[in-house]
Structure 1
Amino acid sequence: MAQAHRTTSHVRLLAAGSLAALMLGLAAPAMAQDAQAQAEESTPESAREIVVTAQFREQRLQDTPLSITAVDATLLASRNQTDLSQIAQQAPNVTLNAMGGAYGSSLGASIRGIGQFDFNPAYEPGVGMYVDDVYYATLTGGIFDLLDLERVEVLRGPQGTLTGRNAIGGAIKLFSKKPTDENSGMVEAVYGSRNRVDIRGSANFILAQDLYARISGVYKRQNGYVDQIDYGCANPGNPQGISARPGSGQDCVIDKLGEKGYAGLRGSVRYNPGDNFDLVIIGDYTHEERTNAAEVISLINPARITNAYACGRFCTYANFYAPPGGFVSQGYEMPNRLKFDGYGFSANMTVGLSDSINIQSITAYRNYRQKWGTDDDFTPDLAIAGQGYNDLKFWFFSEELRVNAKLGDMIDLTVGGFYSDQRSVYFTRQDIRYIAPGLNFQFLGNDPVNADSKAVFGTVIARPMDGLTLTGGLRYTKESKDYTFVRKNFDGVTKSIYLGALDGVKAVYSGDKVDWRLSADYRFSPEVLAYVTVGTGFKGGGVTARPFDAAQALNGSFDPETVTAYEAGLKTDLFDRRLRINIAGFINDYNDIQLPLISCASLGSNAPCGARQNAGNGRIKGFELEMQASPIEGLDIDASLSHLTGNYKNIDPRVGNAILLTDPIVTPNWKYSFGIQYRADLGSAGSITPRFDFAHTGKTSAGRIAAGQPIEFFNAYDIGNARLTWRNEAEDLSISFEVQNVFNEYYTPFRFASVYAFTGTAYSQVGRPREWAVTVQKRF
């Protein structure tokens, strides 16, 4: 059955990829080569000008008084970055991590040490995610493929007045290519390690005068790299008495964790009759179906279980089988894979009322559903079985209205409003038998979660004298959320034996917040801009996601956590724009931090505590440097360096010894990267470009394995990627060979240790080992 299931999913993904390829094939008779892309590819990185819209209007990156890492399509291609999580390798003080099996397909994100990694809809993200100026409200489904993008903007530091709530750490904004007045296209095919197959392409059409369309598609498939092994098959006659599972095969491999299985389509239509009107309508669809994340047991308490369950660096004995017990009359298999289907629509309309005033409307709708299973203990031991099945449904609507005005030559003004409404239904079947012998903690949840947000905002940019620009921003946000807990026995009708007091309880949060920002920048010369800024941001409040009784749910709501950030920076373009250096230093006062409690007595509960409250204050300091250089024709170098440190000022006693004042708020302290490439002209034979990228991530906190234990760290790691690209003379055909993780570094960026006290195990994600790929791209 497992093999049949995998085959079906592969066929569906292949069908989606084939549909994309067919549609792109129909667009192949494109009339003209993409001249702009050719020009960008031959322009030195430091001289290539990127225009950003971080302050609601188009500005040169070097004129914007914010810390922004802006990566355009050309640099994304040269680094071979194809999904959002890869951006963090070169972005200073940015952590983006595709989360593990317990969290499904979700993206944990933090910037300057502030973010969120728990997918549960009771909590809010700490980094604002935007696609074509539309807010993406959850971590789930956030591992975007970088399909047909114009650029990525990573805004570091709180963006409370610019992007609003949940941008306390910063914001990441993806901008896809708009339809233009040309017929052009591109198709790309990749083959690589572990039967990697990627197909992607795009096509641009002129439909009629002033009416254009663009379509793009992607299909990605690759085998996993962690063997899920049948323990009984691999260890016959084992002392635990675990027998082989039927259908394991001679090699005892049940499956491969860490697969890729992704397909997506995006289509857009643009009507642009002139400077005073522009309308872009976008629709997209994503299907992801693959095995769970590549994870292995990384810690075992031998006093509880045998070390024999630790399989190795790239294998696991994880068993997603639940035997009879409690409400389970016969054994069953949890899925070891996930399935995600999502789609969305947006309409972005700009109307020019005059040469100095325009109105912009951004309307969007998004819907997705994700299903996945987990093995909490990650062992084959049926005596400590702990499995979970999850089914998360989500929809989201938003409307944003902006008025941009130019008041003479000295003042630019933006005022606007924002509204969003989102609904989730989180169904889960939890089968937990590891707490104590005979205590079968089993329940069904089917929790509806409603949330909405309203905001009004304004930004003023004034130029009182030549070279000096002053910016002020203000935003008021009102938000609310309610979470209704459904806790049934496995029959779906009677109240849960252990959590029945929660059944039907509604937890409610509501609040409002004012954010502000002031900045001043001065251009000393065409080459040098200095700026200072102070501003605020917040991560939304919420409710306790996993309470153990009604008191924790009803009294466990918490307020936003906040940041007041002070920053100074310098942006330079030197030596006729052949050297670009941007430097920023900052101090963040980080308050009302949302932390888990050890004791819930203050909430009126004596049950095991699952609540989170505003329970700490601290300060984070750091600096960042980014550099791009083109010292000679054809040679491009980019680099980044960042340092981050943070300390708690106080922690609520209710947190206990789970977090101490001496613990770091943020890690890693150090990150740095560099990339170098040289384009050698071969005349009529085209050109050849070797490139090498290197990224270092310092040691990162793994937290405590249990309260009172010493804090632990993941080791620092270094990732090197190499790529060699040949292009023909017309630059409409290229062939590349790449090796990622050249040094075959073994690293574990994240671990799940929530149940270590009961199971004696913790398991960790394993980074992708060294792999190679060949890419062929053709432009039309």
Structure 2
Amino acid sequence: MAQAHRTTSHVRLLAAGSLAALSLGMAMPALAQEAQAQTQADENISESAREIVVTAQFREQRLQDTPLSITAVDAQLLASRNQTDLSQIAQQAPNVTLNAMGGAYGSSLGAAIRGVGQFDFNPAYEPGVGIYVDDVYYATLTGSIFDLLDLERVEVLRGPQGTLTGRNAIGGAIKLFSKKPSDENSGMVEAVYGSRNRVDIRGSANFILAQDLYARISGVYKRQNGYVDQVDYGCANPGNAQGITARPGSGSDCVIDKLGEKGYAGLRGSLRYNPGDNFDIVITGDYTHEERTNAAEVITRADRVGFPFGGFAGRDMSSYNCGRFCTYANFYAPPGGQVTQGYEMPNRLKFDGYGFSANMTIGLNDSLNVQSITAYRNYRQIWGTDDDFTPDLGVVGQGYNDLKFWFFSQELRLNGKIGDKIDFTLGGFYSDQRSVYFTRQDIRYAGLIQFVGNDPVNADSKAVFGTVIARPIDGLTLTGGLRYTEEAKDYTFVRKNYDGTVSTALGALDGVKATFKGDRVDWRVSADYRFSPEVLAYVTVGTGFKGGGVTARPFDAAQALNGSFDPETVTAYEAGLKTDLFDRRLRLNLAGFINDYNDIQLPLITCASLGSNAPCGARQNAGNGRIKGFELEMQASPIEGLDIDASLSHLTGNYKNIDPRVGNAILLTDPIVTPKWKYSFGIQYRADLGSAGSLTPRFDFAHTGKTSAGRIAAGAPIEYFNAYDIGNARLTWRNEAEDLSISMEVQNVFNEYYTPFRFAAVYLFTGTAYSQVGRPREWAVTVQKRF
């Protein structure tokens, strides 16, 4: 759920895009073998009755036996819902917001669960939702719009996971689990063609290389034209009052490009050695390439400004809005200041990333095993921005961005049992993270600020943790967890002129290093009682935190040196009920919660307390609040072949206090979280056609309530994005052997027009703000063959 303060930023944010695919390898103890057998049997029963085994508490457990709020989606349900990337999961997950971010952010994911998360993913800051791929932590929101390639399941853990997944899981955690190599020779190939020349190709293959040695390879290619026209203003409006002329090379329709493209390719390979229950290792490597135009965005605020900062008083911006799927943004800057010749910023992004992991489990005896998870990831992304999003040659705000990143992590776990009554896990975690953010900024709208940055950012984290699960009497389970974390970060600011000399505008920052160090203890206790095979009730109290950091965009050295901040924290109280009723034909899961949300990291309107009288770009622990809500998930199979799933969630939050330094940018009466309501439902019916196979129509509907867009300026009223409803339909034919299927789908059936996010950080200077536009109605045909 979007936080009301998330849009208050002075300069652009960072991003990158990546397919992260790291592999989980676990020995197959008796419980896992039973779970695998159950899963195979479940393939022959209804959608709602099919059981999913999760590993949220470091061990295999049935979803309905786990005292946590979890939305678990397996590969079959992902396919039936047309879901191919991580951001789509939020449509059906209650109180979850996953938003593919806009062009100023590159290819990245803004994520929040139960109102707590992060949308600013500059390396100075930390994510608020922990994202894991095969038990490996993915350390940034940049690069986290994963393609759902060759997955076994997705687990969305709602509520703080401070003891289970550690730092930055203050809102919750999202875990992706890919299919592991297994003892079979099999494969799959899938081709999609659809609207705007959409072409998707997916494939996977599993091989037996030798006794106990298996391999799996999978790949994906996605390409689709954009849906927002980038129009040459001078070409479309000859003789305009601003004197803007047509750009060279504009076609007869004046369209320069189309924003919102897809251009993505990924490859993953895994090797597994599994000689028996006492040893298992999976080694995985992956590579991703993404190249496409920037996000589909249009200008949604273009005022006749009278602000003193930019010197554009009286300039009429209203003519710069050209339509619902159209923009005049030109990504061009004329000569001025240090710029002796006009230039264009790229309206495209390019990303290349790769990673390796090794997941090894050694069984020491029947009740004790050790698991080691080692991982390395590296990526680089280059992208450009036009922050004013107009063709006006006097309102220049351009940025060239080059972000490099690498990450190493090592985790060890000791899993064991004491008799039949106690399970435990002890472990340790270490990570080392490096980023270098090169940027060339041309911010003439704010008084001719032009500089080059090349900022190194270092971060590391260490943790030890433990969880104990005890069953003192039949039906009752008690769980306790503890985790201790140390973290450190330093950010060195480089501010040069274009010729390499110290910046004339921000030179006081050049060479300044901002630092943060801190530690934290998280805990969790819960009790659950199984009243019958059909009903489980639980209560839990636990904590989580989002890591501390440094001010990412200071305007002077004082803001950098004094602008570090501590973690923000949540203490969560939750009660829930999990049921399987009427011979597993109806599943109802209900949870209610209260989150005490403290030390919230908020932007300041004045930096005087930090020793600075410059415009304030700092963030501090400046607020406390409380968030309340409930969630309901339902799956039903009332008759053979008919499957229904639904979710409903409600969320409210209020500030208890706000630091006066925040000023009137955020008020006590403001909501901490939005939207209040989300709901969804899906229905499908599988009609058996005998030797002709089967036919399955499916329809999904998701409603998202109005969402805060924040204030366009301090003291202005809060603005909201309208509520929106998305419907998706799919019709699938499968042959009798179920190794061939043909699907026809329509997404956004009602052709809903909606704007889920906007960039308004430069409004005070330019009078403009621009917003993402959701994808319009699209159709596609999919053919899949299994071998």
CA contact (8 A) 2:634 2:646 kept: yes
CA contact (8 A) 2:372 2:411 kept: yes
Runs of at least 5 residues in structure 1 that lack an aligned partner in the other structure: 298-302
Cα displacement (A) at 1:91: 0.1
Distance 1:111 1:406 in 2: 33
Cα displacement (A) at 1:89: 0.1
Cα displacement (A) at 1:306: 2.5
CA contact (8 A) 1:126 1:167 kept: yes
Q: Encode CA deviations 1:395-416: one digit per residue, 9 max, x unaligned.
A: 0000000000100000001000
Identity %: 91
Cα displacement (A) at 1:758: 0.5
Change (3 A) 1:259 1:509: same
CA contact (8 A) 2:14 2:121 kept: no
Change (3 A) 1:455 1:737: same
Q: Structure 1 length normalisation: TM-score?
A: 0.94
Change (3 A) 1:109 1:23: closer
Cα displacement (A) at 1:119: 2.0
CA contact (8 A) 1:384 1:433 kept: yes
1:324: which partner in 2?
335
Runs of at least 5 residues in structure 2 that lack an aligned partner in the other structure: 300-313
Distance 2:750 2:376 in 1: 43
Q: Is 1:717 equivalent to 2:728 in the alignment? A: no
CA contact (8 A) 1:30 1:183 kept: no
Cα displacement (A) at 1:491: 1.1
CA contact (8 A) 2:212 2:275 kept: yes
Change (3 A) 1:204 1:27: farther
Q: Encode CA deviations 1:258-309: one digit per residue, 9 max, x unaligned.
A: 0000000010010000000000111111100000000000xxxxx5432110
Distance 2:580 2:392 in 1: 61
Q: Equivalent of 1:488, from 487, 496, 512?
A: 496
Change (3 A) 1:537 1:419: same
CA contact (8 A) 2:169 2:546 kept: yes
CA contact (8 A) 1:106 1:142 kept: yes
Change (3 A) 1:742 1:337: same
Distance 1:428 1:162 in 2: 37
Q: Encode CA deviations 1:206-237: one digit per residue, 9 max, x unaligned.
A: 00000000000000000000000000000011
Change (3 A) 1:103 1:5: closer
CA contact (8 A) 2:644 2:684 kept: yes
1:43: which partner in 2?
45
CA RMSD of aligned residues (A): 6.0
Cα displacement (A) at 1:3: 39
CA contact (8 A) 2:230 2:258 kept: yes
Change (3 A) 1:597 1:635: same
Q: Encode CA deviations 1:429-484: one digit per residue, 9 max, x unaligned.
A: 000111xxx63x10000000000000000000000000000000000000000000
Change (3 A) 1:279 1:60: same
Cα displacement (A) at 1:43: 2.5
Distance 2:400 2:272 in 1: 42
CA contact (8 A) 2:485 2:520 kept: yes
CA contact (8 A) 1:419 1:453 kept: yes
CA contact (8 A) 2:2 2:707 kept: no
Change (3 A) 1:459 1:199: same
Change (3 A) 1:506 1:146: same
Distance 2:163 2:12 in 1: 43
Distance 2:94 2:699 in 1: 18
Q: Encode CA deviations 1:674-707: one digit per residue, 9 max, x unaligned.
A: 0000000000000000000000000000000000
Change (3 A) 1:284 1:29: farther
Distance 1:18 1:743 in 2: 31
Distance 2:674 2:264 in 1: 31
Q: Encode CA deviations 1:68-126: one digit per residue, 9 max, x unaligned.
A: 00000000010010000000000000000000000000100000000001120000000
CA contact (8 A) 1:618 1:648 kept: yes
Distance 2:678 2:140 in 1: 26
Q: Is 1:259 equivalent to 2:264 in the alignment? A: no
Distance 2:13 2:98 in 1: 26
Q: Is 1:242 equivalent to 2:250 in the alignment? A: no
Moved over 4 A (4+): 1-42
1:300: which partner in 2?
none
Distance 1:74 1:60 in 2: 18
Change (3 A) 1:27 1:218: farther
Change (3 A) 1:19 1:186: farther
Change (3 A) 1:235 1:12: closer
2:173: which partner in 1?
171
Higher relative contact order (CA 8 A, sep 6+): 2
Cα displacement (A) at 1:46: 1.7
Q: State which drifts further: 6-15 or 243-252.
A: 6-15
Cα displacement (A) at 1:24: 22
1:601: which partner in 2?
608
> May I ask how many residue pairs the two structures share in their alignment?
770
Q: Encode CA deviations 1:326-383: one digit per residue, 9 max, x unaligned.
A: 0000001100010111110110000000000000000000000011000010000010
Distance 1:7 1:118 in 2: 9
CA contact (8 A) 2:18 2:146 kept: no
CA contact (8 A) 2:26 2:280 kept: no
Change (3 A) 1:18 1:260: closer
CA contact (8 A) 1:101 1:292 kept: yes
Change (3 A) 1:664 1:458: same
Q: Encode CA deviations 1:719-757: one digit per residue, 9 max, x unaligned.
A: 000000000000000000000000000000000000001
CA contact (8 A) 1:521 1:529 kept: yes
Distance 2:26 2:170 in 1: 45
Cα displacement (A) at 1:26: 28
CA contact (8 A) 1:24 1:203 kept: no
Q: Secondary structure at the match of 1:637?
A: strand
Cα displacement (A) at 1:578: 0.6
Cα displacement (A) at 1:657: 0.2
Change (3 A) 1:587 1:10: closer
Change (3 A) 1:468 1:378: same
Change (3 A) 1:11 1:283: farther
Q: Encode CA deviations 1:116-174: one digit per residue, 9 max, x unaligned.
A: 01120000000000000000000111000000000000000000000000000000000
CA contact (8 A) 2:2 2:673 kept: no
Cα displacement (A) at 1:194: 0.1
Q: Is 1:369 equivalent to 2:380 in the alignment? A: yes
Cα displacement (A) at 1:9: 32
